[in-house]
Structure 1
Amino acid sequence: MTGSAEPVAGGSGTRRPVTVVDVPRPLRAQFFPDRVGERLAAVAECTLLDEPGALTHPGLAPVLARAEVLVTTWGVPRLDADLLDRAPALRLVAHTGASVKPFVTGELFARGVAVTQAGQGMARAVAEVALAFTLALLHRLPRVDHALHAGAEWHVAEAVPPRHELLGCPVGVVGASRTGRAYLELVRLLGAEVSVADPTLTPADAAALGARLVALDELLAGSRIVALHAPTLPETRHLVGARELALLPDGAGLVNTARSWLVDEAALVAELATGRIDAALDVFDDEPLPVGHPLRALPNVLLTPHQAAGTVQGRRRQGEIVVDEIVRYAAGRPLAHAVTPELLARLG
């Protein structure tokens, strides 16, 4: 645990709220590099935590008692009544990631603590990975790459199912989240014919995004690529199961950079094992993905280790969003990325 609390010259003139930054050093270097970090130090009186679990360390009690702002990242403990009793001055929790569900409790809102998150900063990076997945599946790159690495004869590697271009391709987007919209824009600009399934959209909303609003079954049956971007909600648990996978046309591809929650993984493995469809996945039920997991052995699957959002630019944007929100809080202005209790219920 390290501490810093002296005013920094060159600040904005706005008061500098006492801020505990519970973000380990390696991640801090990504979220708050160079001028972003300098700006954070200029706008807030920061105590930096380097050790896992440092937020509950007894030695932090004097600073935590004064802290108005808590900056969090993945792995933060639940902010329950016991912890909040030790932070009576807390008024803002600013999360460097997207989902705050693992640690935000009703106690925060009951005590008048505002919550904000930086998920918008991740949208472009994840959308680009989803686009890369889409192109890879259309051109059967996982199959040919696997065949050549496995030592297959050249003619065997060439013998893949028909390949397709994105231009004119029917692409289905499940969930018009921030990332879903970013992905939708990318594939649409490259010429895809896009459908979207999202119960929160009207046909006019979808048309404004350049897409056609359809029911999930129609989207699955009519898309060559289906990209999942829905939130983690009780009603989205295994949204795509064996019945839904069977609706996909032969040769279709499933892209999931959202949550494994959305797909019945056992059903997906069974469908992929037939070779009828392909998939590209960044998220899994068990993470890290076990070495012996059947997904690792399938030639028609592209796998990445839940790192779609981890670009240099994306991490920096997340840090900038957090700093901007602290500035807004200190100036008494509305937050741009506030998470209300109602919004929390709908967020993934």
Structure 2
Amino acid sequence: MTTTHGPAGTRDVWLPIPPDEIDGLPEGFRYLHWDAVPEYPGDPGDCVFYAVPYMKDAEVCLRPLPLMGRVEAVQALTAGIEHLLPGLPSMPSGARLCNARGLHDASTAELALTLTLAALRGIPDFVRGQEAEEWRAGFQPALADKSVLIVGYGSIGSSIEDRLTPFECARVARIARTARDTVRGPVHPLSALSALLPDADVVILATPLTDETRGLVGRDFLARMKDGALLVNVARGAIVDTAALLPEVTSGRLRAALDVTDPEPLPAGHPLWHAPGVLITPHVGGPSSAFLPRAKRLLRDQLTLFAAGEPLRNVVATAGRSGGE
């Protein structure tokens, strides 16, 4: 591995998108492109702002961090940052770790609605029928008049409800870590799950993966879902206990549409692949044509704040502080 040193006092910014493709970047930095290739674009010790490569292995993304002795900000391009938290102890005290809240709202909400509609209307079976040249007509449930429960009502959860609005759902209930009121109605705390689950025809998971939510959807959670209900996961695979889900979908009591799984990637031969009533997509909630323009805008806006010495947005942890931000 080779690195190049910048001029004395250089302040490097590492970007996973070529800097000449991002309009309006502030002056005063040397912009370098690094998207997880083996060689670094410069000396990691000169980097003050590190924008983490998107959809790359956590080990690769974390690799330069111990060498970044001057880094002041680490910007993820994902809403979840659990893959970067192991690097926090190696960051200089005071360095901020920022997530990409808002970046994937449109794309992930679109997929949540796509999975919900496809699963309810039996689209996977129609695709198989087309491949077999079979006309598989029949009666299918609609989203209209259904009760939907959104678990995780941050910016993505709110965007999902935006897209549910024209579909004439009977009701939409909302769950988040803390209770609050919105213009659409109350957001209930996680403690209200037991009371709300039995009424939901569709349960959509959009919550971050935390110690509190890991394995949240286990046997008790699933047992409280009504017969025939649909579980949609566009959050993180580890929120669902796969071992608990398998018997529920295998028996046909529940259905599931999963953009994320545990384990992930789902290995060949795993029983979840062929479980009845399960629709699987390979973690494609974020990567769509909506990603790039929003990622560029996020990086430009954060770097403008950074250059001006203003507080950064979406700070989720600060190195050297117990409990983060």
| 1:281 partnered with 2:258 | yes
RMSD of aligned Cα (Å): 3.5
C-alpha offsets along residues 90-122 of structure 1, whole Å, 9 cap, x if unaligned? 222222222333224444676221222323111
CA contact (8 A) 2:240 2:262 kept: no
Normalised to the residue count of structure 1, the TM-score between the two structures is: 0.77
* Match in the other structure for 2:81: 100
* Match in the other structure for 1:198: 176
Letter in 1 for 2:76: H
> Which of 117, 127, 130 pairs up with 1:145?
127
Between the aligned partners of 2:166 and 2:29, the Cα distance in structure 1 is 41
Between the aligned partners of 1:95 and 1:122, the Cα distance in structure 2 is 12
* Match in the other structure for 2:49: 69
* Match in the other structure for 1:45: 30
C-alpha offsets along residues 228-264 of structure 1, whole Å, 9 cap, x if unaligned? 1122122222211223222222221110010111111
Work out the percentage of aligned pairs sharing the same amino acid: 28
CA contact (8 A) 1:280 1:301 kept: yes
SS in 1 for 2:207: coil
> Which of 102, 106, 115 pairs up with 1:124?
106
CA contact (8 A) 2:80 2:209 kept: no
Shift of 1:131: 0.8
> Which of 145, 170, 180 pairs up with 1:168?
145
| 1:208 partnered with 2:193 | no
CA contact (8 A) 1:170 1:194 kept: yes
CA contact (8 A) 2:26 2:304 kept: no
Between the aligned partners of 1:189 and 1:199, the Cα distance in structure 2 is 27
Shift of 1:275: 1.6
Q: Aligned pair in 2 of structure 1 residues 114, 222: CA closer, same or farther (>3 Å)?
A: same
More strand by share: 2
Letter in 2 for 1:135: L
C-alpha offsets along residues 68-88 of structure 1, whole Å, 9 cap, x if unaligned? 21121243558989954x433
CA contact (8 A) 2:96 2:315 kept: yes
* Match in the other structure for 1:9: none
SS in 1 for 2:84: coil
* Match in the other structure for 1:114: 96
Between the aligned partners of 2:81 and 2:248, the Cα distance in structure 1 is 33
Letter in 2 for 1:325: Q
CA contact (8 A) 1:173 1:228 kept: yes
CA contact (8 A) 1:170 1:223 kept: yes
SS in 2 for 1:340: strand
Segments of structure 2 that go 5 or more residues without pairing to the other structure are none
SS in 2 for 1:19: strand
Between the aligned partners of 2:207 and 2:293, the Cα distance in structure 1 is 24
CA contact (8 A) 2:237 2:264 kept: no
Between the aligned partners of 1:45 and 1:303, the Cα distance in structure 2 is 42
Between the aligned partners of 2:281 and 2:240, the Cα distance in structure 1 is 16
CA contact (8 A) 1:108 1:114 kept: no
Between the aligned partners of 1:230 and 1:51, the Cα distance in structure 2 is 28
Between the aligned partners of 2:5 and 2:297, the Cα distance in structure 1 is 20
* Match in the other structure for 2:233: 256
Segments of structure 1 that go 5 or more residues without pairing to the other structure are 7-15
Between the aligned partners of 1:3 and 1:147, the Cα distance in structure 2 is 57
Between the aligned partners of 2:225 and 2:270, the Cα distance in structure 1 is 24
Between the aligned partners of 1:48 and 1:143, the Cα distance in structure 2 is 44
Between the aligned partners of 1:250 and 1:195, the Cα distance in structure 2 is 18
Letter in 1 for 2:141: R
Letter in 1 for 2:12: V
Aligned residue pairs, count:
316
> Which of 72, 75, 87 pairs up with 1:91?
72
> Which of 278, 286, 289 pairs up with 1:301?
278
